[in-house]
Amino acid sequence: MAQDYDAPRRNETDELGEDSLEELKARRAEAQSSSVDVDETDFNEALELPGADLSNEELTVRVLPKQEDEFTCSRCFLVHHRSRLAATRNGQPVCRDCAA
């Protein structure tokens, strides 16, 4: 059988576009009726992830004070190296990210 390669191809999305409004409403009703109504509070209480109980854990992080060659940006309040200093506005240092 000869095939016309110049003819437009048809796929599922093309067929869906030709469905009647009633068929689309019926499909929507079927899809909604199969969903299960779950109360979020019940779901959250029953959900327990493995290793999620961190109540007995302590966070141990070594915090270093701001060094001589660092500054705190007056806009984002992050500590940056002096090489990231873009400008000083109103006497306050501003990093390159905030100045852009």
Each residue's pLDDT tens digit, 11-30: 665 555 566 788 888 888 77
pLDDT for position 34: 54
Question: For strand 70-72 and strand 79-81, is the pairing parallel, antiparallel, or unpaired?
Answer: antiparallel
Q: Which residues pair with 80 in a beta bridge?
A: 71
Q: Taking the chain, what is the end-to-end CA distance rounded to the nearest angstrom?
A: 65
Distance CA 36, CA 2 (A): 49
Better pLDDT: 89 or 25: 89
Whole-number pLDDT of residue 55:
81
In angstroms, rounded to a whole number, what is the distance separating the alpha carbons of residues 64 and 59?
Answer: 15
C-beta of residue 77 within 8 angstroms of C-beta of residue 84 = no
Q: What is the pLDDT of residue 45?
A: 64
The Cα 95–Cα 84 span in angstroms is 6
Q: Which tokens sit at 84? A: 């990231």
Residues 100 and 97: their CA atoms lie apart, in Å, by 6
The 10s digit of each residue's pLDDT in 38-81 is: 666 666 666 677 777 778 888 889 989 999 999 999 999 999 99
